[in-house]
Structure 1
Amino acid sequence: MAVGAARLRYDAGQSGIWVILAAGFGFALLFLPDFRTFENLANILRQSAALGLIAVGQTFVVLLGMVDLSVGMTAGLVVVLSCWALDIYPALTVPVALAMILVGVSIGALNGALVRWLRLHPLILTFGMLSVLQGLIFTFTDRSVGRASDPLKELANGSLFGVPLSAILLVGLVLVTQAVLSRTRFGFHLLAAGGNADSARKAGINAGGLQVAAFAIAGGFAAVGGLVLAGRLGTGYPLAGVGLELDSIVAVVLGGAALSGGRGSVVNTLAGVLALTLVSNLLNLFGISAFVQMFAKGAIVVAAILVNQPRETAR
């Protein structure tokens, strides 16, 4: 009973991002007329979709106390390849999309396997993979290539009863993955291995297999995010994935996840994504330059880490 109560208080502490997000939205709705237009609110949801999908996958890796710096370039590679293929075969949206997801899962699984078998540090390894994928993109093309198919554009820009389809996809996958983490043996083992890898191994948990699975999931979600981004851009822009890896980590940290592993929630990651998108939207409405926005994002990261650090030390 005591353990259950502690866990309840612990999870409640992580929900603070939702309070901050609600306060931010409330302020904007009250004092910024341009913010509360239906078009702007729908645009916030659309802008959140691709990053949200990538951040959901990143959460699985962070729960193990690791990060994947290659997810942005994985998404960027999918943007280029999918638009190139769909420009040639526009009727094959579903097969091309499935192939791109397989590409993402394969990249992630390779990352996880190298981390597991070669015992390479995931930060260094995935930074190297980021460079490899960026090189592949620019070897393939140094300019925008191809175009997205109409179904992919509809997924990224269309709506159902006024709600963006991409946002519906994101929320649906968040609910599914949260259920996986909170109600399945895989989820319990992932959190246990992230909290204390040695104890998890002694309990018979296959920590190495979990690493491969977590990175594969991150790669798969990066690919789905890349497909949404391709539909939104409408063409295979080679720099589409730049910066998304850092933004996804920021969103996970804002959601209260521990960079040392063992704590986190994809639902709270979603709140972190919305908070980042909200900040960017407000700064745009105020006419703030992109350079100042970069500074603001960096300040948010530092603040989020400082807020979480005392809890990390106390564990």
Structure 2
Amino acid sequence: MGVNENVLKPLDRLSQALAGEMEAVNALIRQRMASKHAPRIPEVTAHLVEAGGKRLRPMLTLAAAKLLGYPGDYHVHLAATVEFIHTATLLHDDVVDESQQRRGRPTANLLWDNKSSVLVGDYLFARSFQLMVEPGNLRTLEILSNASAVIAEGEVLQLSAAQDLRTDEAIYLQVVRGKTAALFSAATEVGGVIAEASEEQVRALFDYGDALGIAFQIVDDLLDYGGATETIGKNVGDDFRERKLTLPVIKAVAKADQAERDFWTRVIEKGDQRDGDLEHALDLLARHGAMDAARADALDWAGRAKSALSVLPEHPIRDMLSDLADFVVSRVA
């Protein structure tokens, strides 16, 4: 599996359409990640923020606001808030997962240390709350603060669920809604709220972000077992080595015979991994059609995202958001 270069165009078009607003977001991010007294904060933050990420989540906020005709500037603050929350969670995640690579570069915890990553992540969370207050909109504050709590809850749930073979697809979906989709849906929802969209439109934006985030995470989990390192920005098989029960494995475990279940118990629950285990895991995923089934789920969620857009105004941005849903899943098409 890999990325077809042609399908990058929807994201590029969205980026071009929002170029002015994104420039303002990036300027605000650089301004607010500064620290007079702790120079390590901008050092660590810049390492991740400037690593070439697509800024997808803040773009969703800007796109939602622009689609609904918002004439002001506070969508920039909300978009920067979303990016700070995202960056903070990445710093914390890399410590929890003991990761060594992020976006194709060494992780901050590897270059500095775990303490720096955790504390700088805390700083960014604090900055995000300062930013989300500034628009003076209680509802956007509620949405983003709730999303922050849901993200943390999802990460904690994953700690107990990720290495337990009893974890089923319902629990997996709950984890994904927490750790990934919550910020996607909050990003799109606050864009509609700040634009004073109707309740139907705000709900549609939430539904779009929720479904897009779920599709995005399923694809990410698929790529971990079949993507090139330069494509996914991390090492192939990281989820396996970190003993994470992601959707392809959950589907394979559900169809496993006793010998296969013993294998999954050894490598996932007990953490006894040996040479050749990753290759055997890939064989089991293929034997039970787990990758194809997970891919079908991702396509279904992308379809739900596109359907949610139907109540929103006709606009080039709406078309780009629809194409973006196709782009997310085309990475494994």
Q: Do the structures match in fold with TM over 0.5?
A: no
TM-score by length of 2: 0.24
Q: Greater relative contact order (Cα 8 A, min sep 6): structure 1 or 2?
A: 1
TM-score by length of 1: 0.25
